[in-house]
Amino acid sequence: MSDTLIIGWTTFVYLASFAFYLVRMVHGRERWGAPASWLARIGFAMHSASLLLRWKNSYDLGIGHAPLSNFYESLVFFSWSILFIHLILESRSKIRSLGTFLMPVAFLLLAYASMVPGVNNRIQPLIPALQSNWLTVHVLTCFLGYAFFAAAFALGIMILLKSDASAGAGSRLRQRIPGDDALEELLYQGVLLGFIFLSLGIATGSIWAHSAWGSYWSWDPKETWSLITWIVYALMLHARAMRGWRGKRMAWLSLVGFASVLFTYLGVNYLNSLHSYF
């Protein structure tokens, strides 16, 4: 069985998991939560197996490297990172509502990777500049940071829904979302950890750039937008620590921050960049 076939099946497992999370959220019946969580775990195991198989296959082809080098592999790993963080957060916080808002992100990334024409899923040799151990460290830290920011984004949506829901169905939905304090603390932790990992990603990327191209920083569009994203989240942490911002303000900032993350990851591909996947 090929790694791409496993990813195709994993995509549908994530969709099924999201459907169960959504039904649990809408109807408020916990019996739907257990299959949602189990499907997420099963999908994550399949997802992990596909990455390991692709890694092995690259060595079988004589061009062995971690599956982190092209657009397809980055989409797959980004989705894997989100599931990794989601399962940890759900296990620790027991907040299953998070899956309703985070699973769609992981699903859409895999769906894009496995179903959209033009995404090259072939294993390819690395160009000389990418043949470095810094590749794995840099990509790993960046995408773990992105995954924490995705979790903060999902928590921000939950906070906004809880604060804006009114009478009727909206009121019932609000009751199924945990209290603001729990959500805000998780959001803060997600942003803080994401900020730390993104900082490490920028630092390791600079070291790698110096070894590959002789310059720590060249104001490439990817580098510039990574810095912009770093500043957005730095301001967010500053606003909470020094200004006491909480609730809807932090929720909106988490949405702005994740929009910056998505542009850093996807938008710069349309610019003239050394980091472009296209």
pLDDT of residue 168: 47
Range ranked top by mean pLDDT from 24-28, 95-99, 103-107, 114-118: 103-107
Mean pLDDT of the chain: 87
pLDDT one-digit tens code per residue, 171-213: 566 666 777 678 899 999 999 999 999 999 999 988 887 776 7
Question: Which carries the bigger pLDDT value, residue 32 or residue 11?
Answer: 11
Question: Which carries the bigger pLDDT value, residue 96 or residue 172?
Answer: 96
Question: Which carries the bigger pLDDT value, residue 220 or residue 68?
Answer: 68
Nearest in space to 160 (alpha carbons), one of 150, 173, 147, 143: 173
Please check the confidence at residue 33 and state whether its pLDDT lies above 80: yes
Please check the confidence at residue 268 and state whether its pLDDT lies above 80: no
Look at the alpha carbons of 74, 78, 80, 81 in this order and tell me if their dihedral is positive or negative: positive
Task: Please give the radius of gyration of the chain, using alpha carbons only, rounded to the nearest integer.
Answer: 19
Question: Which carries the bigger pLDDT value, residue 27 or residue 57?
Answer: 57
Question: Which carries the bigger pLDDT value, residue 165 or residue 159?
Answer: 159
Nearest in space to 53 (alpha carbons), one of 139, 120, 121, 112: 121
Question: Which carries the bigger pLDDT value, residue 60 or residue 111?
Answer: 111
Task: Report the SS3 class of residue 245.
Answer: coil
Confidence (pTM):
0.91
Lookup: tokens for 62: 């004589």
- pLDDT band for position 273 (cuts 50, 70, 90): low
Task: Report the SS3 class of residue 148.
Answer: helix
pLDDT of residue 77: 96
Please check the confidence at residue 38 and state whether its pLDDT lies above 80: yes
**Mean pLDDT to the nearest integer, 80-90:** 96
Domains of the chain: 1-119 (1.20.120), 129-278 (1.20.120)
**Mean pLDDT to the nearest integer, 120-132:** 78
Question: Which carries the bigger pLDDT value, residue 220 or residue 273?
Answer: 220
Give whole-number Cα distances, 267 to 135, 152, 261, 276, in Å.
21, 20, 9, 9
